[in-house]
Structure formats: structure tokens, C-alpha cells
Structure 1
Amino acid sequence: MRQFTYTRADSQANAVSAHAGQPASYLAGGTTLIDLVKLDIMQPERVVDVNRLPLAEIEALDDQRLKIGATVRNTALAYDERVQNDYAVLSEALLQGASRQLRNRATTGGNVMQRVRCGYFRDGVSDCNKREPGSGCAAIGGHNREVFAVLGTSESCIAVHPSDMCVAMAAIGATVQVSGPDGDREIDFLDFHKMPGDTPHIEHDLKDSELITHVTLDAPIEGAGSTYIKLRDRSSYQFALASCAAIVSLDGDKVANARIALGGVGTKPWRCSEAERALVGQPATRESFKTAAGIAMQGATPYKHNAFKIPLARKAIVRALSDATARAQGDTA
């Protein structure tokens, strides 16, 4: 068994200081970290517990944005009245994202940092560029059905980003606040997660020892309807084969604003900006939604076992846009 030092931080500055200068990990809910330490995939020499930091509050800002502390538990976030009223897509995504026991432990910051569920990454012996840069990717020629991507892939990695919460946040728009040895800074949520390219071991935009302190959601779109559709092999706790977070506002019978983000098919939470632009000003009809879905999946790369994800994602987009439009029109059935 590997040994590590445990430190309980009593301030952000102390947490960052304790983390700096050595292989270390921050600990909040531990729902990913503890699993990967047990599997010997993550090997921190120090674990810095941040649960006592004052980061467990949800705060409404004067500009109508919502500031979420990094240690806010997924259950608390999903059932927060402001989230349910103004960001229903986020509440729905969280409640479909895990078992109740995991939601009670998992945190906002930890969910943003959630690592892939690729079996080749987690088995500790297969070729995996994410775990051991330059070793290859066993998934490309192996079994690549459930947790493997068709968007944003490379010759180095095709593992899908597993978070449901992050898909909703990508659709809403958000900013990640971090604190590190060089001070505080903000990162646009869409820039936080990195596509694999030829460096799949670089998963995010954090610098050494930086700690996520908050995620701030953009102001809600007035009059919009939203939904989160998650398609999976079984309705109980399971990762998405394809999912879609959609937000739609209308001007009469036409689309005034649209947000679309995908999960289960991308190497990062996948925002479909071109499809959104194509929808604006178009009739809010199934035909328009099908056109947008086709645009969203342009450039998708199928692999041996997951080619079905491309039509599945298209169907998820059409269904999500249809449901979000119905809600914008006041139909909550």
C-alpha cells in the first residue's frame, strides 16, 4: 500500500501552500479520488482536505448570476430553490448523474474535475496515453462502446468526459474561479476542460496547485425553457451513451436564443455553438431541430463499437430542443 500525508486545510492559502511543490491532490467528497487511489492510478504523496474551507454556500449575485462554492454537495445544488427555478436543466442533470449516496458526497468542484471512466485508463496495465503519455491508446482498437467519444477525439485518446453536471453548465455558461500560488483568476467554463490532442494527460486548464473555489453560472435567459435528456443502457445509475442539455427562448414562433451541450459523446462537455447559431431566427419546429442536430454532429468520428452514438445524439438533440421549446411555451406536461 502506498503511503501519503494527510493535511486538513483551514484556509485557502494554507490549502494551496500544502499542495504546492509535490505530487498532491485536493480532497472534498472523494468520490473519484479515493477510487483512483485504491486502484493505484492516482498516486498523491499528500492529500489536502478542503472540506473545512468556507466554500459550501450558494450566493445570488447582484448581476443575477449564481455563485456556487466548490464544496457544495450535488444534492444541495440540485434541490436549491434558485437552481430549480432559474437553472432547471442543471437540477435535472444532477439528479440523473449518480446514485443518491454519491450525490450526497460529491461536490461541485470535484464534479468539474471528474476523471474519465475508460476501463483501459483505470485497469493500470493497458496502454493509455492519459495515464502514461506515449504508451498508446488501447481503446481505439479495443472495446470502445459505452464511455468512448465520437467528438473531440484524437489518435491519442477517445475517452468521453463522464459528468452530467458539466454538460448542463456548458449549456448555461459559467466561469470557474480558482486560487493558486500566483493568486486568483477566472477561467471560462468552456475553456476549462481540454480536448486530448496529443497531450491527453493534460485534462484541464488548472496550473500547478490551483484550487477551484467557485463556479459562477451566467444569468438565466429570460423566458427560456430547458431540459436535460440522458440516454443510457438502463435508467438506474449509469453513464450516458448520449445526453443533451438544451435551453430555448422564443420570439413568437421562432427561436430567439438556443443553447445546446452534449454529454456521452465528447472528450469534454461539448457545446454546439454552430448548431445554436443556425437555430436563431428559425421556426421552432422539429425540422429546424433536425437540421441543428445534423450540424452539431458534423465531424463526428465513429469507432468500431460506438458508431450508433451519432444518430443517438441527433435524436437526443431533437427531443431536448422539442421539450425545452414546449416549456418555453408554458407547456410543463
Structure 2
Amino acid sequence: MRLFEYSRAADAREALERFRPGTMYLGGGTNLVDLMRLGVARPDSLVDVTRLPYDTIDTDGGDGLRIGAAVRNSDLAAHPAVRDRYPMLARAVLSGASGQVRNMATTAGNLLQRTRCPYFQDVSRPCNKRRPASGCPAIPGDHENLAIFGHSEHCVATHPSDMAVALAALGAQVHVTGPAGDRVVPIPGLHRLPGAAPERDTVLVPGELITAVVLPPPPPGRSHYRKVRERASFAFALVSVAAVLDVDEASGTVRDCRLALGGVAHAPWRAERAEAALRGAPATEEEFIRAAEAELAEARPLPRNAYKVPLARNLIVRTLQELVR
């Protein structure tokens, strides 16, 4: 076992003071501890932030909701305000991992979990996310479950969070504190596409700490989260869709639409082309197909994950159809 220092912070100020090169923050540990066991993560010190006062869910002034960074996934999915006003988010959280993992995993940790690309988790193989400039063997190798949008010659990994996909469709804001002070980062916007620096998953800088996720008031219309995976439970998405659809009942046209995809990119993928195609259009299967194809025209699948293109198209169309029934 590789030795590391462990300390527990009482508040954000103490956590920031203890951060130095080689330090990592420890929340529920459901991802980080696994990566340490695999030898992927090798911190010199861990600062435990689970006792920081960020474990509540509160109304945010108006009709929004403020979710503390340390709120456990199980508590988030079960909270009455989340279930009643943001059912898509509750469903997305329940689609992730197992009950035991959700009992430990935190809101911030869920957003910051690392990819499940098999090459990233295998320290015997090169990986640009672990060792920059070492190569991406997934591109010529095992990429069946990897990205079709936004990837680069340096990385085709996907982001594994279900929660983040729902938050992208809802337009959530992530509140962060760090050495330079406080700031707010939107979702989408928190997670990066790989470009030439795939080792950076997010726009956070070293030492920054997520304190809360703030949801705006629920958007009008109906919402749903649907996930396709290789087995019924405890599996990451091949493709997932978070959808909000607001239809004018009198005319049958789409007033507004929000779509985000999971399992297809290095970050939750907001389907802005599909959204634009649907606004003002009839809420019909033909228009749903047209909108999905407008989005997927930008996909760049690799030889063995091209199946994700029709899978994503069918999933978008089926999910939107359910929202108009």
C-alpha cells in the first residue's frame, strides 16, 4: 500500500488551507478509493470534507433548490422536493450504481467521478488521462462504449454520471470556493471536452471545492430520464437521455424543449441542435426524428461504437413520445 496522510477538515477554510500539490479531497470515496486501490489515483494526502456543513437541501430564495455538496445520493433521490418538482433528477440518481453506493456517494463526488474507460483504469496500459502524451489505446482498441461526440485524437472517454446529465438539462449552477474566492460554474460548463488536455475533467482549478448545486425553478412541461445499459442495474449508460418537453395543448406545437445526453461524450452533452429544431415544431414523431437526426449529424463514431448513433436517435424519439402521451 502506498502511504498517504489523512486529515479531516471542519470547514471550507480549513480544507483550503490543507490543500497542497498532491492533495485530494475525500467525500464519500466511492470512486476515489476504488481508483486508489487500482493505483490510478496516488494522492500524497487526503482531506476529508464529509463533515463540512453542506449536507442539506434547501429552497434557494424563489422556487429553486440548493443541494449541498455533501448530500448523499440516496437522500437526494428521496427528498420530497426533488421527487415532486424535479422527478427527472430523482430518476437519474436512482439509475446510478447500487443502493449501497448511493448511500455513500455525495452530490459533488458524483459530478467529479472519473471515466470508466478500461484503459484509464488499467495502469499497465498507456492513457493520456493518467499520463499525458502516453497515447490513447482506446481509439484503435476497445472503444465500443466510448464517445461519439466531442472526442479528440487524445481521448475518447465518456463521463459516467447520470446525475450530471439531468442537471445539464435543468441548467444547474455549481457553487465553488477556492484559493481565489467563490464562483459559480454552469452545467453544461463544469465538465471539459478532452481536446489536447484530457487529464483535466473539469474547469475547476487545484484546490477548488464544490459547496453546492443550485437548481433554477422547474421548467414548464413534462420531464423524463431514460437510460440504456448492458444490464438492469449497476451499469453505466451506453446512452441516456434527460428530456423536458413543454407542448402547447391548443396548437400541439413545442413551446420549449431541453435535451441532454449521457454516455456519448467526455461531458454531459446538451443537444442544442435538437432543441432548436423542435421549438415551434409540431410535437409529432416525424419532428422528433428530424430533431434527433439534426443533433446526431454532428456525431463522429468510431468503427465499433457506431451503434450508438441509431441507439441515441431511437432513445430521444421514444422519450419525447412518452412525454406527449
TM-score range, shorter chain: over 0.9
Q: Which letter does structure 2 place at the counterpart of 1:277? A: A
Secondary structure of the residue that 1:119 maps to in structure 2?
Answer: coil
Check the 8 A contact 1:300/1:310 in 2, yes or no: yes
Q: Find the counterpart in structure 2 of residue 330 from structure 1.
A: none
Following the alignment from structure 2 to structure 1, what is the Cα–Cα distance between the partners of residues 301 and 273?
20
Secondary structure of the residue that 1:120 maps to in structure 2?
Answer: coil
Q: Name structure 1 gaps, 5 residues minimum.
A: 327-333
Q: Name structure 2 gaps, 5 residues minimum.
A: none
Q: Find the counterpart in structure 1 of residue 283 from structure 2.
A: 284
Q: Which moved more, 1:109-118 or 1:295-304?
A: 295-304
Q: Find the counterpart in structure 2 of residue 156 from structure 1.
A: 154
Following the alignment from structure 2 to structure 1, what is the Cα–Cα distance between the partners of residues 266 and 319?
21
Cα offset for 1:118? 0.6
- Amino-acid identity (%): 47
**What does 1:312-331 align with in structure 2 at a 5 Å threshold?**
312-326=311-325
**What does 1:1-333 align with in structure 2 at a 5 Å threshold?**
1-19=1-19, 21-146=20-145, 148-222=146-220, 224-252=221-249, 253-326=252-325
Secondary structure of the residue that 2:119 maps to in structure 1?
Answer: helix
Cα deviation 1:258-307 (Å, max 9, x = unaligned): 00000111111000112111101111111111111111212211112211
Secondary structure of the residue that 1:276 maps to in structure 2?
Answer: helix
Following the alignment from structure 2 to structure 1, what is the Cα–Cα distance between the partners of residues 294 and 147?
17
Cα deviation 1:199-222 (Å, max 9, x = unaligned): 101110111200000011121113
State the TM-score, normalized to the length of structure 1. Answer: 0.95
Following the alignment from structure 2 to structure 1, what is the Cα–Cα distance between the partners of residues 24 and 48?
9
Following the alignment from structure 1 to structure 2, what is the Cα–Cα distance between the partners of residues 73 and 28?
10
Cα deviation 1:218-247 (Å, max 9, x = unaligned): 21113x101111011111221111110000
Cα offset for 1:62? 2.1
Secondary structure of the residue that 2:183 maps to in structure 1?
Answer: strand
Following the alignment from structure 2 to structure 1, what is the Cα–Cα distance between the partners of residues 219 and 76?
19
Following the alignment from structure 2 to structure 1, what is the Cα–Cα distance between the partners of residues 166 and 187?
11
Following the alignment from structure 1 to structure 2, what is the Cα–Cα distance between the partners of residues 325 and 59?
31
Secondary structure of the residue that 1:66 maps to in structure 2?
Answer: strand
Cα deviation 1:41-66 (Å, max 9, x = unaligned): 11111101011110000011222111
Secondary structure of the residue that 1:163 maps to in structure 2?
Answer: coil
Secondary structure of the residue that 1:122 maps to in structure 2?
Answer: coil
Check the 8 A contact 2:173/2:215 in 1, yes or no: yes
State the TM-score, normalized to the length of structure 2. Answer: 0.98
Secondary structure of the residue that 1:186 maps to in structure 2?
Answer: strand
Following the alignment from structure 1 to structure 2, what is the Cα–Cα distance between the partners of residues 81 and 258?
25
Check the 8 A contact 1:226/1:325 in 2, yes or no: no
Cα offset for 1:324? 2.3
Following the alignment from structure 1 to structure 2, what is the Cα–Cα distance between the partners of residues 80 and 292?
34
Cα root mean square deviation, aligned: 0.9
Secondary structure of the residue that 1:176 maps to in structure 2?
Answer: strand
Q: Which letter does structure 2 place at the counterpart of 1:76? A: D
Following the alignment from structure 2 to structure 1, what is the Cα–Cα distance between the partners of residues 319 and 7?
44
Q: Which letter does structure 2 place at the counterpart of 1:15? A: A
Following the alignment from structure 1 to structure 2, what is the Cα–Cα distance between the partners of residues 286 and 274?
17
Residue correspondences, number: 323
Secondary structure of the residue that 2:63 maps to in structure 1?
Answer: coil
Q: Which letter does structure 1 place at the counterpart of 2:94? A: L
Cα deviation 1:68-102 (Å, max 9, x = unaligned): 00010111111111111111110111111111111
Q: Which letter does structure 2 place at the counterpart of 1:257? A: D
Check the 8 A contact 1:22/1:46 in 2, yes or no: no
Following the alignment from structure 2 to structure 1, what is the Cα–Cα distance between the partners of residues 118 and 182?
35
Check the 8 A contact 1:26/1:49 in 2, yes or no: yes
